[in-house]
Structure 1
Amino acid sequence: QEKKIFTVLGPYPVIRSQLRARGWVERKPPSAGSRPEQQQPLRSPWPPEEEEEEEEEQRDEDPDDIHKLMSCLLRDQTPYFIWTTRCSAVNRRLLRHDQVVNHYSGVASFTTKEGLCVNLRNLPWFYEADPDTFFPRCYRLGAMDEREAFIEDFRLTAARSLLKVALERAGDMPVGTEQPPKSGEGPGEHRVPRSHNSHHMPSTAGSPLPSQLVEEALQVCRQHLDSVGHQDIDRDAPSPCMTAIDWDRFLQDYYRVVHEGDGLVLSASQQDQCQALLQLLAEHLPQLTMEGNRNVWILKPGAKSRGRGKAGGSRGRGLPTKEGVPVSPCPPGIVCVVRLEQVLQLAGGCTSFSAREGEWVVQKYVERLLLIFSTKFDIRQWFLVTDWNPLTVWFYRESYVRFCSQPFCLSRLDPARHLCNVSIQKRCRPARGRHPRLPPDQIWSCRQLQAYLAQAGRAGAWQQVMVPGMKAAVVAALRSAQDLVGSRKGSFELFGADFVFGEDCQPWLLEINTSPTMAPSSAVTSRLCARVQQDTLRVVIDHRDNPACPTGAFELIYKE
């Protein structure tokens, strides 16, 4: 009569125990513990074997026979609360209005890399936010127009990178694009005064390339500035990449300078022009600083999670290689590349049903990262949606930090240095001489991050920059897909967003995961994952029935 019957599909002992503590009784599914083998339209949050592992590690304390008996008595009853790992596990057409389910339909529009890529691009049409300020630019290689746009972007980025490298080697970087100061240096104190003579850039691999290469890069960047500055509205200006430049030759020379160490001749006049042009571009390109100067991109499976999928063959076998240029065979499915032909060859060479070219996205890598003890990290940030009309979003005040196991290095693009996923890092060996304050299990809480920032002299960064930026990015991503998600009043959903941070502490959204893992991979995640599940039930059950009930660490950040 009280409708306190629930069903849980998957290894969620915390959800089970919390519901039982509220007086709910479980009606177990007929094939409890088994998993259907059919392919699901949404990304799986983890492989079945990991679910079984988690279930094994967190068995219910109550005698299982009692719950089995009670479940048998309820086998003909309707469950009024359903928690499952997959939206497709529930036939939504048969749901009653008073049944509560932990998924919405249509969330692939922002929980797949392809969906996020497409919908954030349309965001400025109906919401006052610029995705270029929080989401690294991204392209679907299977869409011909986006493939061409990526090729143009790669070339433009190469031209800008060449100017940055030329200035960097001359000891003169424009304001806003300097490399971060070393320990003990303040902003601006590490710049090297330049002379007014021609500079021969240091060479380690061959004769210095002529200044004509810089002149070509300047020409491309000038035309790009005209384009982004809307100076070509009244004339049919060609694309910046449609100039008379031989792009194949330009890129090969660019690779030699940036990745292979060849020298470069830079005149004093060109040095001044590089400075001025990059400063002007910085006013129009929000990603100019974070993109760095090595033109690193990431090829990702567009509809997978946690690095799944294969690119260029199993564990990177068959990847194109070239002496002096790093190639990243990231084991399962994400490939870091620095050459245009690598991206096109890898995407075009994926012929399996799960890796067709149309399912791959390529995204600009954030090269200018906030590091901790010279190590890359990202943050898993939870948020909860309890309604789509009006859109209602709850942001969790706790999160956790995931570290790479090797020091960050842009000349070595292996996954141990660049992919923070727990499922990837658990296969990697920690570096020798690793900083003693880095956690052996690669996980910190956000409170430990805040303590580190305070010690580094950036005590206000978390509350003033990082958290507000993450909240804004989450809301913008949801707004971009709002019309594509099935709005059902009896549903809710918990998501996990992954962020990295630039040197200025601004967050960059990488992806949003449905059914974020609750596996206790560390002491921190064991505590926080249990807590976020408890607080989710506080919001969707306790607070729904009594608005005066506390919502734990969830904070309501948006309601239309």
Structure 2
Amino acid sequence: MSNSKDFGRTLPTKKSPTSNNAYWDNTSRIINDSFSFISYDLKTDDSFKKDTKNKNIVAKVVTPSLPHSSPAPGQKAWRNETFAYERYKFYKTKVIEAFHQKKIFTIRGNYPQVRRALLQRGWLEKSVKEDSLQNLSQHRLLKYATDGNMYEKAAVSRMLSQYPAYFVWQFKNTPETNNYTQPYRNRIKRARSLDFCTKEGLLSCIENSHWNTIEGIAEVFTPKTHRLTTKTDIHEFEHDYRLTQCLSLLTFINEQNDPHELFSNTGTVSAKVSSIHFAVKQIEEAIALKLNEYLDSNITDMLIPTDYEWRRFIEDSDKIIKQDMKFSATKEEENRALSGVAKTLFSAKKVWPTLQMDGYLNIWIVKPYNKCRAFGIALMTDFTKIIAYVRKNCQLRYIVQKYIERPLLIYKTKFDIRQYFLITLTDAINIWMYQDCYLRFSSQEFALTDLREAVHLTNNAVQSKYANGKRDQHLPTENMWTLMEFENYLTSIDKGYIWNEKIYPKMQQNIIAVVLSSLESIDLAANTFELYGCDFMLTTNFDPVLIEINATPDMSPSTSVTARICPRALEDLVKVVIDLPSDPTAPTGAFELIYKVPWTKAPSYAQGLVVQGKSVKLTNLRKSLSSKRDFSPIIINDCINLKNITLSPPRCKKRGRRRKVAKQ
């Protein structure tokens, strides 16, 4: 007899002298009535063990409550029935049906909305989460399993372990499995160089966007951005920084109510009115180069300022802009200096559209390549300090981006817009835009003289660390607005039409342009999809400016606003990914198809390949060879003119000696 406490009565085998034929006939009929796979599972399961000492089979049978496992008429009930055969059959049937219908899914991470939406559609979850229930035997899981509890989920998940998942929600770096089944997978692979979810990849897509620009459909609008990796990158940024300083001085002068107040016969900056001429000349030459107006011969004749001249200019212009000093000049010098400022700025705005949001303080924002949640971001105005900051943190790679000094403000407070979009790969590359979004506010009023992150970084991970400052009472305490609240605000300033007519369409154009620029590096795997969160800011002209795009956006209900939008977005995602392919008329929720790029798989190089064969009658090869008995020497002529090789004759099996062979 077995000493196990977890099992019930010890059942004798047929070979045992105490075996009961009627008992075993009854037992065999119960097992045979089950599916063919049950006998295998019983032998391998912990709940069906063999006592090697007494050679008796130990089993424990549970009578399940759902479905009920009462004995059939004329069938003798087991005593101490504790193994849930009927419940096992019930779950196994569901597993087999889910496999045939391809309704098995796996989710890594906390996405209850996706899980609930799939379960409502009859899918079964193949859990990848390790917990204490995974260590229990199948017998115990079935014993305590009831409708919807954790034991039932663990038991079903264990049965699903041998089947592939047909919907996979995974983390970014999770190894991919079951690719042969082409499951719905929430990851789209692309090369790192054109991965717009990284800051470097987004910059590459923006640089290539001119090849995919379609007026009114695909156009990107972003701040000036530079890499800070190589010496060439730093040199290019330095050149742009210097030109931006020239534009800053001209913008500052042009926006004064009375520019003549910047000049004085006894000015505090002696004889530096030439700084204006210097700035005008540098901008005019840069515009000419941009428009290809210079011939090669003229380019070599250009006078390139020295580093010393640039340092003097930057110092003098900063004194005028930031320290309220004045130029010392006569009236004639003053008029001559101001005459070219407005004209030069007008030409510059045509060449550099971002000039409308640049301001005149020359502020730049430094960001690490592959970090999120505002990690490692700093705002600076001095070129030397920017380079020193990057070199100090040499373990990271950085980009530097022109800071938007003139964003659209709401009640004197900075905000950005979090917008979601979805890419699905079916018979085409489909770009879906979510028609709902929300605004994120800073906890402090906007001020360019205060470069702290609490003022300028609207990321919720940053703002949650700070208490709200003295702001307008109309601003939300949670620092978030819904789209409806934003539209109500636009209506209050007589701009109610601007969202549908300008902001939302131009946000679509930015997303389409970036996605099209990344297509050459995309891995076109059928049934893959991915949800993205992108951040936009608005200029004072209500033009959306693309800041960044994030993979795996935070969909947690951190505030009352996200608690309403994020769950609904995930539920609508399931409608697009699961429902739409099988039913073209299925609703897609708030997701709107904004662009579609058809694609086809590469044709096979062996199209029309046919393999034809002819049956061959099998013969006794040994008899066929022995009947010929041709033991002549075998001569092999090597193709590279080596000496002929004579093989030894075969050994006679009967006599065990070599036959004599006449030399040829």
TM over 0.5: yes
Match of 2:448 among 394, 403, 410: 410
Whole-Å separation in 2 of the counterparts to 1:202 and 1:501: 42
Letter in 2 for 1:101: R
Match of 2:466 in 1: 428
Contact 2:184–2:528 (8 Å) recurs in 1: yes
- 1:231, CA displacement in angstroms? 1.2
Match of 1:372 in 2: 410
Q: SS of the counterpart of 1:75?
A: helix
Q: Kindly tell me: are residues 18 and 200 of structure 1, through their superposed partners in 2, closer, same or farther at Cα, counting changes over 3 Å?
A: farther
- 1:65, CA displacement in angstroms? 3.3
Whole-Å separation in 1 of the counterparts to 2:303 and 2:359: 20
Where structure 2 has 5 or more consecutive residues not aligned to the other structure, the ranges are 1-99, 133-146, 598-664
Whole-Å separation in 2 of the counterparts to 1:346 and 1:239: 36
Match of 1:96 among 171, 174, 180: 180
Letter in 2 for 1:106: R
Q: Kindly tell me: are residues 412 and 239 of structure 1, through their superposed partners in 2, closer, same or farther at Cα, counting changes over 3 Å?
A: farther
Whole-Å separation in 1 of the counterparts to 2:325 and 2:383: 19
**Structure 2 counterparts to residues 442-461 of structure 1, below 5 A:** 442-461=479-498
Q: Is the counterpart of residue 339 in structure 1 residue 382 in structure 2?
A: yes
Q: SS of the counterpart of 1:10?
A: coil
**Structure 2 counterparts to residues 68-87 of structure 1, below 5 A:** 68-86=154-172
Q: Is the counterpart of residue 165 in structure 1 residue 252 in structure 2?
A: yes
Match of 2:108 in 1: 9
Match of 1:271 among 319, 333, 338: 338
TM score, norm. by length of structure 1: 0.80
Deviations 1:343-371, CA, capped at 9 Å, x for gaps: 1111111133xx2xxx2000111111111
- 1:389, CA displacement in angstroms? 7.2
Q: Kindly tell me: are residues 485 and 240 of structure 1, through their superposed partners in 2, closer, same or farther at Cα, counting changes over 3 Å?
A: farther
Letter in 2 for 1:89: T
- 1:236, CA displacement in angstroms? 4.7
Contact 1:222–1:277 (8 Å) recurs in 2: yes
Q: Which has the higher contact order (CA 8 A, sep 6+)?
A: 1
Match of 2:513 in 1: 476
Contact 2:575–2:587 (8 Å) recurs in 1: yes
Contact 2:220–2:546 (8 Å) recurs in 1: no
Q: Kindly tell me: are residues 254 and 62 of structure 1, through their superposed partners in 2, closer, same or farther at Cα, counting changes over 3 Å?
A: farther
Q: SS of the counterpart of 1:89?
A: coil
Q: Kindly tell me: are residues 29 and 460 of structure 1, through their superposed partners in 2, closer, same or farther at Cα, counting changes over 3 Å?
A: same
- 1:128, CA displacement in angstroms? 3.8
Match of 2:31 in 1: none
Q: Kindly tell me: are residues 388 and 3 of structure 1, through their superposed partners in 2, closer, same or farther at Cα, counting changes over 3 Å?
A: closer
Whole-Å separation in 1 of the counterparts to 2:297 and 2:367: 37
Letter in 2 for 1:116: L
Q: SS of the counterpart of 2:563?
A: helix
Whole-Å separation in 1 of the counterparts to 2:527 and 2:436: 26
Match of 1:112 in 2: 198
Match of 1:381 in 2: 419
Match of 1:145 among 232, 242, 245: 232
Contact 2:434–2:592 (8 Å) recurs in 1: yes
Q: Is the counterpart of residue 392 in structure 1 residue 456 in structure 2?
A: no
Match of 1:288 among 347, 355, 358: 355
Whole-Å separation in 1 of the counterparts to 2:415 and 2:581: 36
Contact 2:200–2:369 (8 Å) recurs in 1: yes
TM score, norm. by length of structure 2: 0.68
Contact 1:166–1:201 (8 Å) recurs in 2: no
Q: SS of the counterpart of 1:103?
A: coil
Q: Kindly tell me: are residues 494 and 32 of structure 1, through their superposed partners in 2, closer, same or farther at Cα, counting changes over 3 Å?
A: farther
- 1:457, CA displacement in angstroms? 1.3
Contact 1:97–1:490 (8 Å) recurs in 2: no
Quick check: which has more Rg, 1 or 2?
Answer: 2
- 1:129, CA displacement in angstroms? 6.5
- 1:453, CA displacement in angstroms? 0.8
- 1:143, CA displacement in angstroms? 3.2
Match of 2:565 among 528, 533, 536: 528
464-473 vs 101-110, which moves further: 101-110
Q: Kindly tell me: are residues 64 and 269 of structure 1, through their superposed partners in 2, closer, same or farther at Cα, counting changes over 3 Å?
A: farther
Whole-Å separation in 2 of the counterparts to 1:492 and 1:373: 39
Q: SS of the counterpart of 1:431?
A: coil
Q: Kindly tell me: are residues 441 and 30 of structure 1, through their superposed partners in 2, closer, same or farther at Cα, counting changes over 3 Å?
A: closer
Q: Kindly tell me: are residues 276 and 265 of structure 1, through their superposed partners in 2, closer, same or farther at Cα, counting changes over 3 Å?
A: farther
Among all aligned residue pairs of Structure 1 and Structure 2, give the percentage whose two residues are the same amino acid.
30
Where structure 1 has 5 or more consecutive residues not aligned to the other structure, the ranges are 34-60, 173-194, 309-332
**Structure 2 counterparts to residues 227-266 of structure 1, below 5 A:** 227-237=289-299, 242-244=304-306, 246-265=309-328
- Give RMSD over aligned pairs: 2.5
Match of 2:537 in 1: 500
Q: Is the counterpart of residue 304 in structure 1 residue 341 in structure 2?
A: no
Match of 1:513 among 535, 545, 550: 550
Q: SS of the counterpart of 1:288?
A: helix
Q: Kindly tell me: are residues 388 and 538 of structure 1, through their superposed partners in 2, closer, same or farther at Cα, counting changes over 3 Å?
A: closer
Q: SS of the counterpart of 1:490?
A: coil
Q: SS of the counterpart of 2:318?
A: helix
Q: SS of the counterpart of 1:517?
A: coil
Q: SS of the counterpart of 1:307?
A: coil
Contact 1:395–1:556 (8 Å) recurs in 2: yes
Match of 1:216 in 2: 278
Letter in 2 for 1:430: N
Whole-Å separation in 1 of the counterparts to 2:491 and 2:208: 38
Deviations 1:58-102, CA, capped at 9 Å, x for gaps: xxx95333322321221222111011232x21325x412431101
Q: Kindly tell me: are residues 32 and 301 of structure 1, through their superposed partners in 2, closer, same or farther at Cα, counting changes over 3 Å?
A: farther
Contact 1:110–1:477 (8 Å) recurs in 2: yes
Whole-Å separation in 1 of the counterparts to 2:546 and 2:361: 21
Q: SS of the counterpart of 1:552?
A: coil
Contact 1:211–1:264 (8 Å) recurs in 2: yes
Deviations 1:456-515, CA, capped at 9 Å, x for gaps: 111111111111111000011111111112111120111111100100010110111101
Letter in 2 for 1:156: L
Whole-Å separation in 2 of the counterparts to 1:400 and 1:32: 37
Q: Kindly tell me: are residues 230 and 389 of structure 1, through their superposed partners in 2, closer, same or farther at Cα, counting changes over 3 Å?
A: farther
Letter in 1 for 2:287: L
72-81 vs 419-428, which moves further: 72-81
- 1:234, CA displacement in angstroms? 4.3
- 1:124, CA displacement in angstroms? 1.2
Contact 1:169–1:202 (8 Å) recurs in 2: no
Q: SS of the counterpart of 1:111?
A: coil
Q: SS of the counterpart of 2:512?
A: helix
Q: Kindly tell me: are residues 26 and 279 of structure 1, through their superposed partners in 2, closer, same or farther at Cα, counting changes over 3 Å?
A: same
Whole-Å separation in 1 of the counterparts to 2:277 and 2:231: 30
Q: Is the counterpart of residue 199 in structure 1 residue 285 in structure 2?
A: no
Q: Is the counterpart of residue 546 in structure 1 residue 583 in structure 2?
A: yes
Whole-Å separation in 2 of the counterparts to 1:559 and 1:106: 18
Contact 1:336–1:413 (8 Å) recurs in 2: yes
Q: Is the counterpart of residue 440 in structure 1 residue 477 in structure 2?
A: yes
Contact 1:471–1:557 (8 Å) recurs in 2: yes
Contact 1:9–1:32 (8 Å) recurs in 2: no
Contact 2:102–2:166 (8 Å) recurs in 1: yes
Q: Is the counterpart of residue 225 in structure 1 residue 310 in structure 2?
A: no
Match of 1:191 in 2: none
Match of 2:208 among 96, 108, 122: 122
Contact 1:132–1:286 (8 Å) recurs in 2: no
Match of 1:38 in 2: none
Q: Kindly tell me: are residues 5 and 150 of structure 1, through their superposed partners in 2, closer, same or farther at Cα, counting changes over 3 Å?
A: same
Aligned residue pairs: how many?
476
Contact 1:210–1:265 (8 Å) recurs in 2: yes
